[in-house]
């Protein structure tokens, strides 16, 4: 028996090398090893800025990037120290805790920091319970209830909710005074299937996305309308001026500044010049809001994050300038100036496999929504690298119907419960969790989840499954090269 097995291995292994199409099975190669974001010099704590920022053009901009990077990593407290304002409800106490993989600014890390929130005293165990969906090695999560609850605790399907239900409260912390809030009833929400999740979107290269003119996106939409894969698509438009919004899982945020201000408010409970009021839970907002003893816990009034008017004089003028903006402004600037991930030409699977995979990716129709390159950004008044650049984000920034299998029944702006932005794929090779809720770490699962009733991507997923295993492996290798 062992001789037969050995013979089979001897015969099959070389054949699989010569004829990839008869490889035994296709599989996700996993997180790509090698330089972080494909960039030499990048580390987990120090992702690289855009080239022109790295060369400090214009003078002083590197200080803004570095200062923003620092603030992105600050751990906020409720009322002590310089970095205060956390809560009264929050999902975590820093941006970089969740935007961490493969570097600061990325997505969910392998070890979920929320799992340690109580043991590390970020949330008090006397008043907080770790929900069952927060696991040690699962994704960092934001929870939402699609529907408000009836008085008897059942979901009221006539009352769409969709707002964020922050996981932790500051209650019980030594620096939280007498504020006494309960966590949302996650257990009941799970029992009634009235809960959905979101993972952090990575923000590398986000400034390039922000700097695409609407006309460029509209022209791309028209060109892609001649697809033969059943794909439609629409844009999520800003409710005030009608222009194309582009950030967030449903493209619900117009700009990086709005994105950072909302996240500061929703994920960490910190008010800013963009969102100047504490945010109650959606259910609390329907009632009387937050109790008075949970307001102004930081003790310095609102907004908790504001422009720093009185910055100490510094002989380094650029460093002094970078201290002036509010956190939310510098978060946005940091994200805006982050370099996009660089793809690998040969890892995993070798150059030929990656090249084949890219050709197949286009042939079967993935590129209809995951547009490989959008040319070009508008001229930039911020830094040279943001202007007249090709955006290799692998997204059309449209929202598409993704069907009943991925629908989360949350509406944001013009996006309905089954519509999602084509997730930019740059940097995919070093991501751990996939899809809006991080439900899988396996690219094959993520791809096949694209087909379900009502999905625009069913035909493309069917085309993918029509490929041989070797061809599918090439596509997986290509995706992990990004």
Partner 1 sequence: MSSGLSRRWALFAALVLVGARALGASASGPVPAGVILVKGAWSSAAGTATPLPEEGAVSNGQYGNAYFGLEYAFGADWTQRYEGPPPSEGGYYVLAQIEPRNAAQSFGQSHVLIAAQDLFFTLNPARDALELIHYYQEHLGAEYRVQRPPTKVRVANRDFVRFDYFSPAAGLQWHMLATEIRCHVVLFTFTGSDAQITRRLIDSMGAMPQAPRGAPVCIKDYVSAETITEREDPVLSAPHFNPVPVRIIIDAQGKVKQIHFLSAFPDQAKSIADALSQWQFKPLIVGGQPAEVETGLMFGRPPRPSASALH
- How far is it, in rounded angstroms, from Cα 190 to Cα 42? 40
Q: What φ, ψ does residue 400 adopt, rounded to 5°?
A: -130, 150
- How far is it, in rounded angstroms, from Cα 431 to Cα 346? 18
Nearer to partner 1 among residue 271 and residue 458 (C-beta): 458
Contact region with partner 1 (CB under 8 A), list: 133-141, 176-184, 292-300, 360-368: 360-368
Residue 467 in contact with partner 1, rule: CB under 8 A: yes
Among 137, 187, 300, 362, indicate the residue that binds partner 1 (CB under 8 A). 362
- How far is it, in rounded angstroms, from Cα 65 to Cα 51? 12
CB of 435 to partner 1, least distance (A): 15
Residue 466 in contact with partner 1, rule: CB under 8 A: yes
Contact region with partner 1 (CB under 8 A), list: 57-65, 87-95, 316-324, 413-421: 413-421
* 445, containing H or E segment: helix 443-448
Among 186, 229, 247, 264, indicate the residue that binds partner 1 (CB under 8 A). 229
Tokens of 387: 């202007």
Give me the residues paired with residue 60 across strands.
none
Whether the CB-CB separation of 415 and 397 falls below 8 Å is answered with: no
Tally Cβ neighbours within 10 Å of residue 222.
9
Residue 405 in contact with partner 1, rule: CB under 8 A: yes
Among 417, 424, 429, 438, indicate the residue that binds partner 1 (CB under 8 A). 417
Residue 4 CB contacts under 8 Å (≥ 6 apart), including other chains: none
- How far is it, in rounded angstroms, from Cα 165 to Cα 149? 13
Residue 30 in contact with partner 1, rule: CB under 8 A: no
Contact region with partner 1 (CB under 8 A), list: 256-264, 343-351, 362-370, 428-436: 362-370
Would strands 89-90 and 142-144 be described as parallel, antiparallel, or unpaired? unpaired
Q: Site size for partner 1, by CB under 8 A?
A: 70
**Of 163-182, which residues contact partner 1 (CB under 8 A)?**
none
Residue 360 in contact with partner 1, rule: CB under 8 A: yes
Tally Cβ neighbours within 10 Å of residue 246.
26
Among 380, 471, 473, 481, indicate the residue that binds partner 1 (CB under 8 A). 471
Nearer to partner 1 among residue 137 and residue 375 (C-beta): 375
- How far is it, in rounded angstroms, from Cα 248 to Cα 254? 9
Residue 173 CB contacts under 8 Å (≥ 6 apart), including other chains: 78, 121, 123, 124
Among 74, 185, 273, 462, indicate the residue that binds partner 1 (CB under 8 A). 462
CB of 283 to partner 1, least distance (A): 16
Nearer to partner 1 among residue 58 and residue 153 (C-beta): 153
Whether the CB-CB separation of 250 and 388 falls below 8 Å is answered with: no
**Contact residues: partner 1, CB under 8 A:** 146-147, 150, 154-155, 157-160, 162, 191-194, 215, 218-219, 221-223, 225-226, 228-230, 232-234, 237-239, 242, 356, 359-360, 362-364, 367, 400-401, 403-405, 407, 409-411, 414-419, 451-456, 458-459, 462-463, 465-469, 471
């Amino acid at each position: 028996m062992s001789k037969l097995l050995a013979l089979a291995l001897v015969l099959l292994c070389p054949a699989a090398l010569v004829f990839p199409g008869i490889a035994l099975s296709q599989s996700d190669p996993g997180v790509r090893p090698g330089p972080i974001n494909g960039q030499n010099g990048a580390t987990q704590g120090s992702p690289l800025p855009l080239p022109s920022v790295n060369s400090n053009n214009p003078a002083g901009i590197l200080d803004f990037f570095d200062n923003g990077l620092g603030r992105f990593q600050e751990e906020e407290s409720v009322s002590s120290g310089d970095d205060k304002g956390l809560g009264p409800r929050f999902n975590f106490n820093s941006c970089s805790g969740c935007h961490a993989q493969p570097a600061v600014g990325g997505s969910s890390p392998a070890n979920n920091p929320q799992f340690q929130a109580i043991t590390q005293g970020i949330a008090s165990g006397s008043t907080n319970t770790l929900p069952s969906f927060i696991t040690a090695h699962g994704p960092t999560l934001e929870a939402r209830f699609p529907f408000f609850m009836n008085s008897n605790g059942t979901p009221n399907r006539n009352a769409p909710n969709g707002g964020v239900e922050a996981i932790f409260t500051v209650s019980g912390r030594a620096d939280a005074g007498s504020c006494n809030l309960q966590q949302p009833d996650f257990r009941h929400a799970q029992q009634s299937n009235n809960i959905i999740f979101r993972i952090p979107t990575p923000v590398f290269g986000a400034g390039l996305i922000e700097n695409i003119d609407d006309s460029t996106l509209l022209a791309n939409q028209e060109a892609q309308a001649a697809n033969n894969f059943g794909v439609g698509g629409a844009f999520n438009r800003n409710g005030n001026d009608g222009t194309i919004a582009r950030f967030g899982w449903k493209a619900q945020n117009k700009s990086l500044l709005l994105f950072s201000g909302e996240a500061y408010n929703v994920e960490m409970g910190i008010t800013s010049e963009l969102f100047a009021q504490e945010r109650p839970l959606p259910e609390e907002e329907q009632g009387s809001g937050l109790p008075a003893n949970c307001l102004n816990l930081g003790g310095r009034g609102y907004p908790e994050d504001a422009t720093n008017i009185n910055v100490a004089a510094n002989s380094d003028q650029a460093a002094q300038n970078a201290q002036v903006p509010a956190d939310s402004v510098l978060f946005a600037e940091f994200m805006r100036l982050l370099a996009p991930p660089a793809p690998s030409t040969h890892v995993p699977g070798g150059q030929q496999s990656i090249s084949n995979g890219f050709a197949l990716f286009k042939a079967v129709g993935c590129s209809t929504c995951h547009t490989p390159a959008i040319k070009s950004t508008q001229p930039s008044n911020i830094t040279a690298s943001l202007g007249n650049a090709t955006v290799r984000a692998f997204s059309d920034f449209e929202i598409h119907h993704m069907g009943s299998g991925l629908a989360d029944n949350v509406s944001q702006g013009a996006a309905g419960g089954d519509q999602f932005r084509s997730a930019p794929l740059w940097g995919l090779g070093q991501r751990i969790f996939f899809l809006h809720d991080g439900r899988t770490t396996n690219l094959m699962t993520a791809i096949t989840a694209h087909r379900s009733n009502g999905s625009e991507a069913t035909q493309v997923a069917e085309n993918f499954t029509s490929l041989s295993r070797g061809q599918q492996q090439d596509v997986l290798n290509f995706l992990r090269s990004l």
